[in-house]
Amino acid sequence: RGGWTGGWIGATSRPMEKASPCIGVCALDDAQVCQGCGRTIEEIAAWPSASPAEREAIRRRAAARRATS
């Protein structure tokens, strides 16, 4: 067991949703952006009910934020 949190989950050959981009470093900066995953507080709150397309958009925006910080 361990800390694996990414990649495809599930026991079938059908791909499932990717896991949350959370890396367990949860600290918001002054702009309310997580210093660990790069998501805004609004994106973190929306994650549980977001569609797969919305989650992918959140992942991409967060990655762009991390790349520029």
Q: Which residue has the higher pLDDT, 1 or 29?
A: 29
Phi, psi torsion values for 10, nearest 5 degrees = 125, 160
| Full-model pTM | 0.72
Half-sphere exposure of residue 51, counting CA atoms within 13 Å on the CB side? 2
Q: Are 36 and 27 in contact (CB under 8 A)?
A: yes
**Kind and range of the H or E run holding 5:** none
- Phi and psi angles of residue 35, each rounded to the nearest 5 degrees, phi first: -75, -15
Radius of gyration of the chain, Cα coordinates, nearest whole angstrom: 13
Query: pLDDT, tens digit, for every residue of 8-56?
Result: 333 334 355 678 899 999 999 999 999 999 999 999 999 999 999 999 9
Instruction: Say which amino acid occupies 29.
Output: D
User: What pLDDT, on the 0 to 100 scale, is given for residue 38?
Assistant: 96
